[in-house]
Amino acid sequence: MSDKWYARPVLFVADIDRSVNFYVKQLGFTQPWRYEEDGKAWVAQVDRLGCELILSSQWPDKVGKGLMFISLDVGVLDALRAELEQRGVDVKDGEWGYRLMVVADPDGNELYFPYPASPAAGSPK
């Protein structure tokens, strides 16, 4: 038995197909599986380099209320930002006590990518 935790956060979306299209075509994720019933998609997983997200349209009252932190090394984060901007993704700067790169999906769920904190002025390096 493994002592490692495995987590897949759920983001609630209004339309699975629209959301999967955004995560795959705009953010570079893949879609390994989806659940459909009577021809309608209800749940799908998207992933990119070990980051796995579940997209669900099962609870409409929760749509667009998700917030996800994704931590990357600064070089990887800079490359991702350039990639997303080249794809036409609306990338914004944010702040949460430190600098963030913020991407919102079509429903308003936000992905926060924190930049490493800079040493405070006057503090030892």
Domain boundaries, the chain: 10-114
* Of 96, 72, 66, the residue nearest 84 (C-alpha): 72
Architecture of 10-114 per CATH? Answer: Roll (3.10)
Which tokens is 92 given? 């914004």
Give the three-class secondary structure for 89: coil
CA angle at 84 for the pair 78 and 88, rounded to the nearest 5°: 140
Which structure tokens are listed for 51?
A: 């980051």
Q: Which residue type occupies 104?
A: A
Give the strand order in the sheet containing 51-56.
10-12, 51-56, 40-48, 30-37
* Residue 66: pLDDT band with limits 50, 70, 90: very high
The CB density around residue 36, as the number of other CB atoms within 10 Å, is 11
The whole-number pLDDT of residue 29 equals 97
* pTM recorded for the entire structure: 0.87
How far apart CA 30 and CA 20 sit, in angstroms, is: 9
In the predicted structure, residue 1 carries a pLDDT above the cut 70:
no
pLDDT at 118: 59
Report, as an integer, the average pLDDT of 95-117: 94
Mean pLDDT of 65-71: 95
d(CA 104, CA 109): 6
Residue that wins the pLDDT comparison between 1 and 58: 58
Q: Is pLDDT above 50 for 121?
A: no
Q: How far apart (Å, rounded) are the C-alpha atoms in residues 7 and 29? A: 17
Q: How far apart are alpha carbons 63 and 98 in whole angstroms?
A: 27
